[in-house]
Structure 1
Amino acid sequence: MTSVLYGARLQLDENMERMQEGTMMRKVKSKNWKKQRYFMLKEDCMTIWYKSKMSGKAKSAFSVSDVETVREGHQSEVLQSLAEEFPDECCFTVVFHGRRSNLDLIAGSAEEAQCWIQGLRRLVEIVTNMDQREKIDQWICDWFLKADKDKDGRMNFKEVQHLLRMMNVAMNEDHAFRLFQMADKSESGTLEGEEFVLFYKALTQRDEVLEIFQQYSEDSKKLTLLEFVDFLQQEQMEVDGTDELAMELIDRFEPSETAKARHVLSIDGFLMYLYSPDGSIFNPEHRKVFQDMSQPLCHYFISSSHNTYLMEDQLRGQSSVEGYIRALKRGCRCLEVDCWDGSNGEPIVYHGHTFTSKIPFREVVTTLEKYAFRASDYPVILSIENHCSIEQQDIMVQQLKGILGEQLLTTTIDGRVPVQLPSPEELKGKIILKGKRIGYLEDSLNGQPDEVPEQEDMEEEEEEEGPEAEEEALRNEDKRKEKKAKQSLSKELSDCIVYCKSVPFCSFQHSRSHYKPYEMSSFTESKARKLIREAGNDFVRHTAWQLARIFPSGLRTDSSNYNPKPMWNVGCQMVALNFQTAGAEMDLYDGLFSQNGRCGYVLKPSFMRDTETNFSPENPQGIGDRNPLTLIIKVISGQQLPKMPNSKEGSIVDPLVRVEIHGVPGDSAKQETKYIDNNGFNPQWGESFQFQVWVPELALLRFVVEDYDMASRNDFVGQYTLPLTSVKLGYRHIHLLSKDGTGIPPASLFVHIHIRETSSETN
């Protein structure tokens, strides 16, 4: 079967052949948990299978498509802890996509380790570079191997019935047998090789796509170049260079060389196009950095993580540099580090006064140096929650400067006092510290001595302003805190705080009167919500000139997340979430930052970058004369939706689709389809929904698929979230993501999207 599908594409090299023979290696979970396991590459070249040496019964497996990368040597905390016991050249780490734990392995020799390192890397490269045709071939191969119970390379009808249940298909037995007989060209009573491919294609025939194809095809067999151009212009709303685009798409997706030479598209090529990234709902132009990156930092939403070091909950969870690696690889640009005095004289990172494990601050900085700019060149902000003594703060600075070198920003980019924040473009490749600072930036830049008491300056300003009694009390409290900070803050660390000086928040008026653009305040989620309710427009104006960071309530001991959308609606830049916790909140997060090349910076709409703006989320009409958009979404069908983990043998999903708009309060809405009984393979809904959207610039569109359950809560099947401004119109596939945010191919939805301007007469 494999050779039929791969042809010459996958040549087994020596490493893969040895991997298929199998190797005994140590699987390591901690310094004391090291167990022998027998690892083997299965005949499909896509599955790694392993079992315990002792019993030989307990088996586990993972797919090559689950693997993100392979790290060589002592590149995990566990393997580093065993560095004296096992040589570097025998160790490696398999890193998986999403939140799945890494797999640390120790081979018996350097040669065996290299065999698996090089072999796995080659397989990951092959999977990553597969084109659409090869991916489909791979899925067919996967299903065949799963269903071929007796491993004889052919499938009888009983095995086919079992396969249909695995694929989420509740098909009439007579119909299934007719498809089976149609594919059994050799009349042997079994399907093998190309016969199974034929069966799979009959099974996955897309009547709804064929219908669209035939609307534009004169002979119902092919689309000529002109017919395809008509489809692209009329349905997909492609307007620029459509002739060239049509030629290019035919060249890339038409499987028949004859048809390609004639510049025509077959139904197979048409389906391949629709299922590819070009036919996806997400605008491919937004997969790269396309926004203006030369505006002040405060004009961007910035991908921000809370308790970045935690892998689980914040009471007993594991602290790990892996949290930083994962966040950085996702494009996160603001990381949090809680620093405490370590018993050996060096600072440590953990969630203070809890049972979470501890990691040396030095390891966090080393990780930052290595991974900070792999996913994005734009600046990283390190939010330091400082609980250290002055002595250990000085050690923090030594480690930061010694390890990060030129990457660490320690003065303004031009040596001058900033009148506004610099841009992401100007700060490329820089790591910026956020924290408390003694005195003003102006003092150090102008060579003023540190002895100048900041408190006296503040008092003079306050007398000039003539504040009201309540605000004066708040300011006195500020001064008390500032004085305390001055006593307990290392001068060396203070001098490293440049563009993100932490200051307490009193009121928006106080900030505007007393604070500088390089100063910023942090808010708990509840404080932010209160301010949004009471002074939404003031909040928007505030974030047009100064950074604001929002963080979860301390009561969220399970590391759950709050809804970030209300904070983005008032322009808050650093809305920090617990990246380690999957759920709808992180779906929205990933959706917002999926645009602009996933660089971690998203330019705010123009009406949120003006300090005199009239915009407020509760009153979106304040941004001038505009009419709402009407968004019409037709949910047509679903393809190969996954079974639920731990579902009963033979059970099949009853899927429904919910379409959600997450925007300003007046735009937020949701509607859902009916559920389809017993069909996760090719459910057909054909239902249309209409939404009115006043502020599309702030709207996120989310599709959720659930398994309907009459007796209890519906089970989550998959979702996809993206900015409304990144949506492509026309017939589009939505490639669903798991709860973890990773792909679950080939699961998808097929939809039609139409947006029209609503005229003022209709309002």
Structure 2
Amino acid sequence: MGLTEDEDVQRMLQGSLLWKVKARGGSRARLFRLQEDGVTVCFEGRFRRARSPQSFSVAHIEGLRQGRQSEGLRKHGAAFPERHCFSLALKGRRKNLDLAARAEEDARHWVQGLTKLMARLQAMSQMEKLDHWIHGVLQRADRNKDNKMSFREVKSMLRMLNIDMDDVYASKLFKECDRSGNERLEGRELEEFCRRLLRRPELEELFGRYSGEDRVLSAEELQDFLRDQGEECSLRQARAIIRTYELNEKAKRQDLMMLDGFMMYLLSAAGDILNQEHTEVHQDMSQPLSHYFISSSHNTYLTRNQIGGASSTEAYARALRAGCRCVELDCWEGSDGEPVVYHGHTLTSKILFRDVIESIRDSAFEKSPYPVILSLENHCGLEQQATMARHMRAILGDRLLTQPLQGQDPHHLPSPELKEKILVKGKKLPELWQESQGVPFLLDPEEEEEEEEEEEEEKVKERSPRRSLQSLQEIKPLQAKDASQVSPELSALVVYCQAVPFPGLAQALRHPQPCQVSSFSERKARKLIKEAGPALVRYNARQLSRVYPLGLKMNSANYNPQEMWNAGCQLVALNFQTPGYEMDLNAGRFLANGRCGYVLKPLCLRSPPGEGSRRLALHIRVITAQQLPKLNRDKGSSIVDPFVRVEIHGIPADCAKQQTHHKLNNGFNPRWEETLRFQVRAPELALVRFVVEDYDSTSCNDFVGQFTLPLPSMRQGYRHIHLLSRDGASLSPATLFVHVRSKSL
């Protein structure tokens, strides 16, 4: 990693005794040590009992916080001084690691060291990541740690690399590299063996096509290649690319590019399938909120399923770090006058409302400066509603929007330029409300849809033989008699997002109310789309609508968000804690515009019935894959038989999928050279999902990796795709290499 001499990293390599604070209280001393690869951290009991050490990768650290800032350390870390504590938030579904050091100095070394390693990983080129990965595999395969590799160890390494290489060919390659003839590869011999393994014949052929017989690319020849890629490029720009990526100093001085430099270029961000301009906020952010898709979460407090899963403030931090801009709080009466957040009528654990608001305050604008909406599903009585309002004002301070913007019509929605502000979505008292008239009865906007779902849930519970579900009938949340009323204190915090029951499309289109928001279950939204899709699009051009998953899905499954986006729905709320293709689509939708959580809707959804863009013929040639991860299966860790599926998600007429044939026993460098063809009628709404699976003739194929992006953000030409795991973590150095071509019809 190039940080071997760093004092903090040195201390991590030596190892430290840290206390691991458990989620349910208590702590255990563990020896934490950074491994020689500079990426893996292992930890085990002080006395090294039989249990094998656990580990995590620095690449999977999503956030690092000093002090007692995590939920676990706030609850159970009081025994340790604040400055001895730190916590690591890990990507995917792994729990936080809450840690306490013996001394402040130890905690500082680990926090500073991990921060440096994370930054170094982020800055690494793909070639560096590849070298680093190979180095790690070599270390694991060298069983006797003599820095030499026998043929047996080389065979072991090949299996680690996901290659089932023929023994005869492997032996031939081994002997060719064993210059010393001592039946051991070391130093330069090992380097040569790895270099041969990492050859990219398809890139060599591509390079040869443009460089000609001399196998050297001039600036003019590079310019030709870039033009064929669909990139306008001057001779001056071509020379700048050579100076940036060429490794050979002599060639660089002569404005020439060798094969290694060409590979470096294609493996860099410049060769990525995602348009790099779209990794920054580049869209018009001055339009009303109703003109944007807004990344939204359902049951944000849950870490697992909605029947018996744990509620956690960390779930809010995780969603907000993932770019979510609308989070949900199910608020219920709690003991000691303190409202709580949890999934009512279930076995999910409860968390204090004030703790949730603190977590939102700390994480809201860590990844995006654009406004956050708090979607309140309120089941509290008047007194605890007033407490909720007090907590929000006290904790959020100036970030909480409590008044309409000056100089703007208060009956029109603001734009996302309302940076670092938090908006409350909830019930609101009528403007002409008088105290003497008493508190009016206001229906919870989600109660209408949820009533019939709850009835169905109860029927499911009654039919279920499982005791845990039957016992849910006995559980009743503590509610006040006036839970359907709204307090003036809470009402005053609702400025632009007043939650109301849906009045029907005819009424809503005749009398639009831009600052009113209605919620729809996925079933009701589908019914509206089927019966009056164009009218719903017109409605969504003026007002916000929120769609949420059916409550009876006990495993917190998600619905396909694409059909809701097609109708212009903005707050398409998903269970962020449930990985799957639905969350892949959500991550893909909000990948563009700098992952800020707001994406401008196409013109046809902002000013209906405006015309969409022209139809596209899309041709994707799947060429090769590189360094696909091995799958850990119960039946043994076998070499994968990969195939690639390309899916188009868009309007119903555009939804399609095609796949390549599978390649037997090769996850290291499989080659397909297969072209998949699509016609896309509404490209401005389409998402493209690349999926790699392991073919299995007798059971379901196993997921290997995927990447999803908006079609308008996809670049043409020869491109690399960096694959992600099921829960969205990087699978570096795993890539796909494709050629993309599209033309208007």
Correspondence 1:614 to 2:609 = yes
Instruction: Summarize deviations over 1:471-493 as a string: whole Å, max 9, x none.
Output: xxxxxxxxxxxxx9997211011
Cα distance, 1:316 vs structure 2:
1.1
Of the candidates 96, 105, 124, which is equivalent to residue 102 of structure 1?
96
Output the TM-score relative to the length of structure 1: 0.89
Distance 2:437 2:217 in 1: 78
Q: 1:91 aligns with which of 71, 85, 110?
A: 85
Partner of 1:296: 288
| Residue number among 330, 334, 345 corresponding to 1:342 in the alignment | 334
Amino acid at match of 2:490: L
- Counterpart amino acid of residue 84 in structure 2: C
Residues 109-188 of structure 1: pairs in structure 2 closer than 5 A? 109-188=103-182
The aligned counterpart of 2:37 is 44
Q: Label 1:232 to 1:526 Cα distance change in 2 as closer, same or farther (>3 A).
A: same
1:61 equivalent in structure 2: 55
Corresponding residue number in structure 1 for 2:458: none
Distance 1:486 1:584, change over 3 A: closer
Q: Deviations over 1:322-365 (max 9, x none)?
A: 11111111111101011112202111111112111111111111
Deviations 1:645-700 (A, max 9, x none): 23644611011111110010001101111111111111111111111111000100
Q: Which residue of structure 2 lines up, in the alignment, with residue 319 of structure 1?
A: 311
> Given that residues 68 and 124 in structure 1 are in contact (C-alpha distance below 8 angstroms), is that contact kept between their aligned partners in structure 2?
no
| Cα deviation 1:500-527 (Å, max 9, x = unaligned) | 0011113111112344111111000000
Residue 529 of structure 1 is matched in structure 2 by 526
| Match in the other structure for 2:567 | 570
Which AA in structure 2 matches 1:34? Answer: S
- The answer to which of 34-43 and 411-420 deviates more is 411-420
2: CA distance between counterparts of 1:487 and 1:62? 47
Q: Distance in 2 between matches of 1:329 and 1:553?
A: 25
**1:557/1:648 CA distance change after superposition, 3 Å:** closer
1:557 and 2:554 equivalent? Answer: yes
Cα distance in 2 for partners of 1:340, 1:486 equals: 9
More deviation in 485-494 or 648-657? Answer: 485-494
Cα distance in 2 for partners of 1:593, 1:418 equals 29
**Structure 2 partner of 1:513:** 510
Q: Which moved more, 1:526-535 or 1:252-261?
A: 252-261
Q: Could you tell me how far apart the structure 2 residues matched to 1:416 and 1:242 are? A: 46
2:420 corresponds to:
429
Shift of 1:393: 1.0
* Cα separation, partners in 2 of 1:384 and 1:650, compared to 1, 3 Å: closer
Q: Which position in structure 2 is the counterpart of 1:696? A: 683
Cα separation, partners in 2 of 1:361 and 1:455, compared to 1, 3 Å: closer
Does the aligned pair in 1 maintain the 2:66–2:111 contact within 8 Å?
yes
Which of residues 260, 264, 279 in structure 2 aligns to 1:272?
A: 264
Change (3 A) 1:723 1:487: closer
Q: Structure 1 residues 195, 62: closer, same or farther in 2, change over 3 A?
A: farther
Deviates more, 1:544-553 or 1:649-658: 649-658
Deviations along 1:27-48, whole A, 9 cap, x unmatched? Answer: 2223444222222222232221
Gaps of 5+ in 2: 442-480
211-220 vs 575-584, which moves further: 211-220
SS at match of 1:189: coil
Identify which of 2, 16, 24 aligns with 1:23. Answer: 16
- Contact preservation (8 Å) 2:4, 2:10: no
Letter in 2 for 1:270: F
In structure 1, the residue matched to 2:651 is 664
- 1:191 and 1:664 map into 2 onto residues whose CA distance is 56
Q: In 2, Cα distance between the equivalents of 1:159 and 1:114?
A: 39
User: Given residue 729 of structure 2, which amino acid in structure 1 is its aligned partner?
Assistant: T
Where does residue 200 of structure 2 map in the other structure?
A: 206
Query: Take 2:385 and 2:440, find their aligned partners in 1: how far apart are those partners?
Result: 23
Q: Residue by residue, what CA displacement relative to the aligned partner does 1:68-87 show, whole Å, maximum 9, x if unpaired?
A: 33321212222112243222
Is the contact made by 1:38 and 1:51 (CA closer than 8 Å) also made in structure 2? yes
2:213 corresponds to 1:226: no
Q: Which moved more, 1:731-740 or 1:250-259?
A: 250-259
CA distance in 2, matches of 1:344, 1:453: 26
Q: Aligned AA for 1:555?
A: L
State the AA in 2 paired with 1:27: K
- 1:439 and 2:430 aligned: yes
Aligned equivalent of 1:655, options 617, 633, 642: 642
Give the CA deviation at 1:101: 1.4
Contact 1:310 1:320 in 2 (8 A): yes
Query: In the superposition, relative to structure 1, how do residues 673 and 54 fare at CA in structure 2: closer, same or farther (>3 Å)?
Result: same
Q: Report the alpha carbon displacement of residue 452 of structure 1 after superposing the two structures with TM.
A: 8.1
- 1:537-686, aligned counterparts within 5 Å? 537-610=534-607, 613-614=608-609, 623=611, 627-646=614-633, 648-649=635-636, 651-686=638-673
2:651–2:685: 8 Å Cα contact kept in structure 1? yes
> Percent of counterpart pairs with the same letter?
50
Give the structure 2 partner of residue 739 of structure 1. 726
SS in 2 for 1:733: strand
Against the structure 1 CA distance between its residues 362 and 244, is the aligned structure 2 distance closer, same or farther, given a 3 Å change threshold? farther
Which amino acid letter does the alignment assign opposite residue 422 of structure 2? Answer: I
Q: Which letter does structure 1 place at the counterpart of 2:528?
A: L
Q: SS of the counterpart of 2:742?
A: strand
State the match for 1:397 in structure 2: 389
Q: Hey, what's the Cα distance between the residues in 2 that align with 1:580 and 1:720?
A: 18
Which residue is equivalent to 2:499? 502
Matched residue, 2:239: 247
**Distance (whole Å) between structure 2 residues aligned to residue 122 and residue 252 of structure 1:** 24
56 and 549 in structure 1: CA distance in 2 versus 1, 3 angstrom threshold: same
AA of the residue aligned to 1:556: K
Change in 2 beyond 3 A, CA 1:30/1:374: closer
In 2, distance between residues paired with 1:607 and 1:245? 37
Distance 1:609 1:34, change over 3 A: same
In structure 1, what is the Cα distance between the partners aligned to 2:645 and 2:24? 46
Query: Structure 1's 523 and 45: CA in aligned 2 closer, same or farther, altered over 3 A?
Result: same
1:35 and 2:28 matched: yes
SS at match of 2:213: coil
Give the aligned partner of residue 706 of structure 1.
693
Query: For residues 221 and 342 of structure 1, what CA distance do their matches in structure 2 show?
Result: 74
The CA deviation string for residues 218-237 of structure 1, in whole angstroms up to 9 with x for no partner, is: 23421110000000001x10
CA contact (8 A) 2:127 2:267 kept: no
One-letter identity of the residue aligned with 2:556: S
Pairing 1:257–2:249 present: yes
Q: CA deviation at 1:168?
A: 1.0
Whole-Å Cα distance in 2 between the matches of residues 187 and 124 of structure 1?
41
Change (3 A) 1:232 1:452: farther
Aligned pair count reads 705
* C-alpha contact 1:591 1:723 (8 A) present in aligned 2: yes
- State which of 323, 326, 343 in structure 2 corresponds to 1:331: 323
| One-letter amino acid of the structure 2 residue matched with residue 37 of structure 1 | R
Question: In 2, Cα distance between the equivalents of 1:89 and 1:419?
Answer: 48
Cross-structure match for 2:739: 752
Aligned mate of 2:5, from 12, 17, 33: 12
Query: How much does 1:55 deviate?
Result: 4.8
CA distance in 1 between partners of 2:214 and 2:143 (Å)? 40
Match of 1:480 in 2: none
Kindly state the Cα deviation for residue 198 of structure 1 after the two structures are TM-superposed.
2.0
Counterpart residue number, 2:191: 197
CA distance in 1 between counterparts of 2:242 and 2:205 reads 19
Q: CA 1:455/1:342 → structure 2, altered by over 3 Å: closer, same or farther?
A: closer
* CA distance in structure 2 between the aligned counterparts of 1:487 and 1:534, rounded to whole angstroms: 31
Gaps of 5+ in 1: 1-5, 457-483, 616-622, 759-763
